[in-house]
Amino acid sequence: MAYFTQQLVNGLALGAIYGLIAIGYTMVYGIVGMINFAHGEVFMVGSFIALIGFMICAMAGISSAPVAILLVLLIAMSFSAVYGWAIERTAYRPLRGSFRLAPLISAIGVSIVLQNYVQLVQGARPKPHVSLVSGGFTLFTSDGFDVRVTWIQIMIVMVTVALMAGFTLVISRTALGRQQRACEQDMKMAALLGVDVNRTISLTFVIGAALAAVAGMLFMMYYGVIDFFIGFLAGIKAFTAAVLGGIGSLPGAMLGGLLIGLIEVFWAGYFSSEYKDVAAFSIMILVLIFRPTGLLGKPEIEKV
């Protein structure tokens, strides 16, 4: 039971990170109908910016952890957002109206570029980082097994919940959210009604990238080490989460993220850690085959 609870705690923390990345996939898919293959790399770039941000904070003598975290959070979100914006502007926007696989191929290109760019300028070696937040507390002990909850895990869940709440508010209450939903329904009609479609799509990428950067920062604090390659696996798992939850659905992305996190942790804990990625990939394939609309998604009706 204790072991189980421990896995549950670990799985939730990991799942929250996947969920944050998955939102970027699901939003972009909802609005422009493309898989933003480079989104995982934006997450990776976000984690690097966070790492560098923390180092600068330390050098500037900011010793208070909450201040540093808040500062780095803002830096990582805003500067990763520029990446999201620039990618959309240069690699995807010119392709609207091209053949249907063009954006995906372009996105693969962007993903390769970002990975190698970071490898080139930051080096291929893993980057360790001593987290500002350490320690935790023992939830309970049974059968001589301590169930530990770390402060970072608490922080991950809290940040995620706060962002989700704020984000849901934005989508459901503000003009931006309305425009976004309008574009999702019918881009041409939205444009005719005076919605600035380009701006709305740009903002979608910006928001998605900012959330991915938060995930990147949390990931770095959680694992204490990053490298240029983390975006690939995390990206695919987050995409799996988006599909599992129902692509296009925001609560679905979060739910899918949590499920993927739990599945990965439990699989590693009870079966074999070597095959934990195989489990994630298999789930993705099975969901796409048997329930492409996911858990909370709406079925698409093709117009002929």
Partner 1 sequence: MSHPLIEVEHLTMRFGGLLAVDDVSFAAWPGQITAVIGPNGAGKTTLYNCITGFYKPTVGRLTLREGDRTWLLERMLGFEIGQKARVARTFQNIRLFGGMTVLENLLVAQHNKLMRASGWSLLGLAGVRGFREAEAAAIELARGWLERIGLVADADRPAGELPYGAQRRLEIARAMCTEPRLLCLDEPAAGLNPRESAELNQLLTSIRDRDGVGVLLIEHDMSVVMSISDRVVVLDYGRKIADGDPAQVRRDPAVIRAYLGAEEGVDA
Partner 2 sequence: MGARLPAILKDAGLTAFVAAALGIFIVGFRTIDIGSTRGLSFDYEFVDLAIAVATVFLGRLGLQLAAAGQRLPAIALGVILFVVGVSPLKMPSTFLHWFVALGGVALILRGMWPWAQAAIGSAGASPRGVALKQAGTKWFGWALLGGAVLMPFSPMADQKTMDLGVLILTYVMLGWGLNIVVGLAGLLDLGYVAFYAVGAYAYALLSTQHGMGFWAVLPVAGMIAALFGVLLGFPVLRLRGDYLAIVTMGFGEIIRLVLLNWVDLTNGPAGIGSIPGPTFFGATFTERAPAGGQTFSEMMGIPFSSNHRLIFLYYLILALALVTHLFTQRMRRLPVGRAWEALREDETACQALGINPTNTKLTAFAVGAMFAGFAGCFFAAKQRFISPESFVFIESAIILAIVVLGGMGSQIGVVLASILLIGMPEWFRDLGNYRMLAFGLAMVLIMVYRPRGLVAHREPSVRLHPADPGGGR
Residues contributing to the site for partner 2 (CB under 8 A): 34-35, 45, 48-49, 51-53, 55-56, 59, 75, 79, 82-83, 85-86, 90-91, 94-95, 98-106, 108-118, 120-123, 125, 127-130, 232, 236, 239, 274-275, 277-278, 281-282, 284-285, 288-289, 292, 302, 304
DSSP 297: P
| 130 interacts with, out of partner 1, partner 2, none, CB within 5 to 8 A per kind | partner 2
Question: In angstroms, rounded to a whole number, what is the distance separating the alpha carbons of residues 246 and 29?
Answer: 11
- Smallest distance, partner 1 to C-beta of residue 301, A: 7
| 179 interacts with, out of partner 2, partner 1, none, CB within 5 to 8 A per kind | none
In 3D, which of 155, 208, 229 has the Cα closest to residue 25? 208
Q: 110: Cβ–Cβ under 8 A, 6 or more apart, which residues?
A: 37, 38, 41, 87, 91
Residues contributing to the site for partner 1 (CB under 8 A): 301-302, 304
142 φ, ψ (degrees, to nearest 5): -145, 150
Give 141's strand partners.
Answer: 146
Question: In angstroms, rounded to a whole number, what is the distance separating the alpha carbons of residues 214 and 42?
Answer: 11
| 82 interacts with, out of partner 2, partner 1, none, CB within 5 to 8 A per kind | partner 2
Q: Which two tokens stand for residue 197?
A: 């479609």
Could you tell me if 176 and 194 are in contact, meaning their C-beta atoms sit under 8 angstroms apart? no
To the nearest 10 degrees (0 to 180), the angle between helices 151-173 and 175-185 is 80
- Smallest distance, partner 2 to C-beta of residue 174, A: 25
- Smallest distance, partner 2 to C-beta of residue 122, A: 6
Question: In angstroms, rounded to a whole number, what is the distance separating the alpha carbons of residues 262 and 78?
Answer: 30
Of 125 and 188, nearer to partner 1 (C-beta) is 188
What is the CA angle 46-204-161, rounded to 5?
Answer: 65
Of 59 and 304, nearer to partner 1 (C-beta) is 304
- Smallest distance, partner 2 to C-beta of residue 52, A: 5
- Smallest distance, partner 2 to C-beta of residue 276, A: 9
| 301 interacts with, out of partner 2, partner 1, none, CB within 5 to 8 A per kind | partner 1
Of 175 and 303, nearer to partner 2 (C-beta) is 303
Of 55 and 158, nearer to partner 2 (C-beta) is 55
